[in-house]
Structure 1
Amino acid sequence: MAITVEFFVAPDDASAAVIGPRYRDHGRPAVMFEGFFPDEAVLEWASLFTGEPIDRIAQGEPRMVVPMANDGFEVFEVGPPLRTLLAGAGALRLGEIADRWAVLESRADDEVSSEAAAGILEAVGALAREAVRAGRGLYCWYFAP
């Protein structure tokens, strides 16, 4: 199953809700990936940053903007606490989180290498800095047919 993932910056939920696989030329700062479930990843990242258990973080996170339906598509907001952590993390901290996340993913048989994890977190961290600087939200859509 090919999972397509895009993290992007948007001013609000209404703007974020219209972005997705059919509207990829939206002109907003964005990065695209494949091969992992981002709604699970953001919970894992938050847990790795804070040391809090995932089940505690998962209460209300991530906040769905377009809940998944039978079409395999959803949009969610990366919550302000994680957005701030990503935006403020330096390369060393992001690399550490990426290494630990790659281990979690390999245990779940999802195979995200340390190198791929580092690239993902560096790119999402840069988007988070852009979102914070612009006073906007950090969102993600994904499609898992």
Structure 2
Amino acid sequence: MSSIIEFFVAPDDAAAAGVVQNGPGAGFEPAAYGNFDVWSTLGEWESILTGRGLEEPIAGGGPDVVAGGDGSPVVLAVPRDLTRALAGAGRHLLGTTAERWVERREEDGETIDDELARQLLGEVAALAAGAAGTGRSLYCWIC
């Protein structure tokens, strides 16, 4: 389990990698959360939002590690298909996605508050829309 998870938008992998030690900070306007399995979450969100089976995001390799690892903080590039799906999702689809995600996490013994799930997906979707509208990319810092 991660203790801090921050989603943020950056112009490219090099800029995103530059935050690996200290996090994205206010200049990147991150959405900060904690204590959920972000690796599984990204695949689950992509599966739910795109209507693909969970095996497809996993077979695609999942998120790319941009920087860090081996016990240190990590920066992930959120897969482009997921970024596009989040950016294009309306309020109803995000709500449904939150419900299904909470159910999946409960099946694996992880409890996530329904309201927090909706808030998280809403904030990350807003970041994704900003990224998609400006040609930048969505990233996730994990510490």
TM-score normalised by structure 1 residue count: 0.90
The 5 Å alignment of 1:5-16 reads: 5-16=5-16
1:35 lines up with 2:38 in the alignment:
no
The 5 Å alignment of 1:63-102 reads: 63-71=64-72, 73-102=73-102
The RMSD of aligned alpha carbons is 1.6
Q: Quick one: structure 1 residues 5 and 23, their matched pair in 2 at CA, closer, same or farther if it must change by over 3 Å?
A: closer
**Which digits, 9 at most, give the CA deviation of each residue in 1:25-70, with x for residues without a partner?**
3501321001112221110001111232222211222111125212
Q: Quick one: structure 1 residues 2 and 67, their matched pair in 2 at CA, closer, same or farther if it must change by over 3 Å?
A: closer
> In 1, are the aligned partners of 2:24 and 2:141 still within 8 Å (CA)?
no
Report what 2:62 is aligned to. 61
Aligned amino acid, residue 60 of structure 1: G
Q: How many residues align?
A: 142
Aligned amino acid, residue 7 of structure 1: F
Which 4+ runs in 1 deviate beyond 4 A?
Answer: none
- The CA deviation at 1:82 is 0.8
Q: Quick one: structure 1 residues 23 and 124, their matched pair in 2 at CA, closer, same or farther if it must change by over 3 Å?
A: closer
Q: Quick one: structure 1 residues 11 and 131, their matched pair in 2 at CA, closer, same or farther if it must change by over 3 Å?
A: same
> In 2, are the aligned partners of 1:45 and 1:101 still within 8 Å (CA)?
yes
> Which consecutive residues of structure 2, in runs of 5 or more, have no partner in the other structure?
none
Secondary structure of 1:19's counterpart equals: coil
**Which digits, 9 at most, give the CA deviation of each residue in 1:98-133, with x for residues without a partner?**
000001111112211211110110000000011011
- State the percentage of identical aligned residues: 35
> In 2, are the aligned partners of 1:19 and 1:26 still within 8 Å (CA)?
no
> In 2, are the aligned partners of 1:47 and 1:57 still within 8 Å (CA)?
yes
Aligned amino acid, residue 97 of structure 1: T
TM-score normalised by structure 2 residue count: 0.91
- The CA deviation at 1:2 is 5.5
Give, in whole Å, the separation in 2 of the partners of 1:123 and 1:21: 23
Q: Quick one: structure 1 residues 66 and 60, their matched pair in 2 at CA, closer, same or farther if it must change by over 3 Å?
A: same
